[in-house]
Amino acid sequence: MADDGVPVEQRRFGNGDHLRPSFIEPYRCSNVLVEGVTLHRSPMWEIHPVLSDHVLVRDVVIDTHGPNNDGCDPESSRMVVIEGCSFDTGDDCIAIKAGRNSDGRRVHVPSEDVVVTGCRMEDGHGGVTIGSEMTGGVRNVFVSDCEMSSPNLDIALRFKTNSVRGGFIEGFHARDLSIGQVAGAVVDVNFFYEEGPGHGFNPVVGDINVQRVTVGTAGRALNLRGYSDDHITGVHLSDVDFGTTANPSVVEYVDDLTLSNVTENGAPMTV
């Protein structure tokens, strides 16, 4: 409907449409507190602040498996803190979003100034994810002092976008993470999510900084895939031990990748 230009007020649904709703969804709100609750088996995204500011999600337990069971997804929101929470989910544990495709360009509001600290992630597609709905852009994300580990955790730090989503990611900072086991990549920046290249809205992604991270085992350290005409610019890793990895890293069309005191399989990492 968005792609077809249907006005928002005409996009009405009710009984018989079988849409799975987000569970807690503050919309255009300020000064939001979600604290000390356990969310179990909600059918869609669990906590989804939209176009909101000054949001605190603290000491929340999310235990829910199923399609699109993201844990906490701030979207087009600012000044968000997610602190001391536990995630065991069927999709991304935390996914920072900013609108999708034509609707994202219509509203055009970024997510910015987001802090994730002291959280634990178990099962999920991504521990901390940006996207894929990030058309309005995401900036200034700070992740610290988190633990992630599960054979069913696909990716630790995940950035997913494509040339339909467009948008930008800038100013991502992660530090002091303990990652026990992750099935896929530890850091994954992938422009080939779903539709991939060739649709006219290439994303702008860079200024990704990861430091003081220890990993037990992983499928691979890095999966960084830009486009030949749209490079990832600026991925900086320092004091990272990727532990034991099963597969070599994938690095395609990345400018300014820096490694400082980064090891893998007991030796200095090279890409």
- Contact status, residue 132 vs residue 169, Cβ threshold 8 Å: no
Report pLDDT digits (tens) over 50-65.
999 999 999 999 999 9
* Range of the structural domain that residue 81 is part of: 26-268
Tokens at 84, concatenated: 């001391």
Q: How far is CA 156 from CA 3, 11, 174, 241, in A?
A: 32, 35, 11, 14
Length reported for the chain: 271
Residue 10 lies in a domain: no
Q: Is 258 exposed, middle or buried (0-12, 13-18, 19+ CB in 10 A)?
A: exposed
Residue 106 lies in a domain: yes
Paired residues of 168 in beta bridges:
204
> What band does 72 get if pLDDT is binned at 50, 70 and 90?
very high
> What band does 204 get if pLDDT is binned at 50, 70 and 90?
very high
CATH of the domain at 60: 2.160.20.10
How many angstroms separate the CA atoms of 232 and 258, rounded? 13
Mean pLDDT of 155-179: 97
Residue 9 lies in a domain: no
Catalytically active residues are 91, 125
- Predicted confidence (pLDDT) at residue 234 exceeds the cutoff of 90: yes
Residue 132: is the preceding peptide bond cis (ω within 30°)?
yes
- Predicted confidence (pLDDT) at residue 26 exceeds the cutoff of 90: yes
Report pLDDT digits (tens) over 84-113.
999 999 999 999 999 999 999 999 999 999
Residue 215 lies in a domain: yes
Mean pLDDT of 39-45: 92
Report pLDDT digits (tens) over 206-219.
999 999 999 999 99
- What is the tally of structural domains in the chain? 1
Report pLDDT digits (tens) over 179-203.
999 999 999 999 999 999 999 999 9
Residue 146 lies in a domain: yes
Contacts 24+ apart (CB under 8 A), 23-27: 23/47, 23/48, 24/48, 25/49, 25/50, 26/50, 26/52, 26/55, 27/51, 27/52
The reported pLDDT for the residue numbered 3 is 85
Residue 14 lies in a domain: no
Residue that is written with structure tokens 């007020």 in the block:
9
User: For the whole model, what pTM was predicted?
Assistant: 0.96
Residue 214 lies in a domain: yes
Closest CA to 130 of 99, 87, 105: 99
Strands 267-268 and 254-264: antiparallel
Residue 4 lies in a domain: no
Mean pLDDT of 145-163: 98
- Contact status, residue 187 vs residue 151, Cβ threshold 8 Å: no
Name every residue whose Cβ is closer than 8 Å to that of residue 26 and which is 6 or more positions away in sequence.
32, 49, 50, 52, 55
